[in-house]
Amino acid sequence: MCRHIAYVGPSMALGELLTRPVHALVRQSWEPRRQQYGTVNADGFGVGWYADGDPVPGRYRRQGPVWADQSFDDLARVVRSTALLAAVRDATEVGADGEAAAAPFAAGRLLFSHNGAVPGWPGSLAPLAATLPPAELLTLAARCDSALVWALVQHRVAQGDEVPQAVADTVCEIAGAAPGARLNLLVTDGTTIVATAWGDTLWYLAEPGRHAIVASEPYDDDPHWQQVPDRTLLVATCTDILLTPLKEPSE
């Protein structure tokens, strides 16, 4: 389910990544090449980006398929940014949350997306949800597994964890509570991309000293795309890519 992409680097139009490449995210909404679960991502979409001088990213999200949105091409053509996170959604279950369930989710400078699913939702994550303060549960953006996953990451960050540690620990904790969960998470603060490969595909394309792109699948056939091994944490900046193996919960 879902396809997503994040970018940090020189300022460029959103469409240079999301619409122009031959297998860009918009095309992946109806014709993904490497999606292992589901075939069409028509249950919502969104993009978040950062404007000069504003620490809080802007977002554009809708509940329907991106190909039906007549404004998206114009937005992608004229809006420029040094960082973005975008996603197209294939919902695990039909729900009433609509746009609210479409990534990217946001908190402060952070943007978040989840490609995957949690088996047994919501019961499988009830014990983890119970560890959150009631106020945090009441402010969940939507009633889907991705929203709770994001709340668990945010809670760790609020307690002082760095984002990579918060993401890694959350993935391992959820995998222990819901074996078989697919937890490809993607987070950016506008300068760093943090991602996990856990149960689905993840790739990166980097030019050290210039840019980094992390995506569910390549948007073209550039041979420099590198696949991230499963059970791996990725941290990317414009200057460096760091891959760290993640341990199975039982280890």
Task: Output the pLDDT for position 96.
Answer: 55
Decide if 86 is inside a domain.
Answer: yes
Length of the chain as a residue count = 251
Task: Output the pLDDT for position 95.
Answer: 65
Decide if 208 is inside a domain.
Answer: yes
Q: How far is CA 32 from CA 88, 144, 185, in A?
A: 11, 23, 18
Which range of residues forms the domain containing residue 151?
3-245
User: Is the torsion defined by CA of 38, 17, 82, 7 positive or negative?
Assistant: positive
Nearest CA-CA partner of 84 in 25, 145, 155, 169: 25
Number of domains into which the chain is organized: 1
The contacts of residue 121 (CB under 8 Å, 6+ apart) are 92, 93, 144, 145, 178
pLDDT by 10s per residue, the chain, length 251: 699 999 999 999 999 999 999 999 999 999 999 998 888 999 999 999 999 999 899 999 999 999 999 999 999 999 999 999 999 999 877 665 789 999 999 999 999 999 999 999 999 999 999 999 999 999 999 999 999 999 999 999 999 999 999 999 999 999 999 999 999 999 999 999 999 999 999 999 999 899 999 999 999 999 999 999 999 999 999 999 999 999 887 65
Decide if 227 is inside a domain.
Answer: yes
Task: Output the pLDDT for position 155.
Answer: 97
CATH number for the domain spanning 124: value is: 3.60.20.10
| 2 flagged as catalytic | yes
Task: Output the pLDDT for position 199.
Answer: 96
* Cα angle: 141, vertex 144, 146; to 5 degrees: 80
Decide if 251 is inside a domain.
Answer: no
Decide if 250 is inside a domain.
Answer: no
Decide if 205 is inside a domain.
Answer: yes
How far is Cα 203 from Cα 213, in angstroms, rounded to an integer? 8
Given 2, 144, 172, 238, the catalytic residue: 2
Residue 48: how many other CB atoms lie within 10 Å: 27
How far is Cα 3 from Cα 247, in angstroms, rounded to an integer? 24
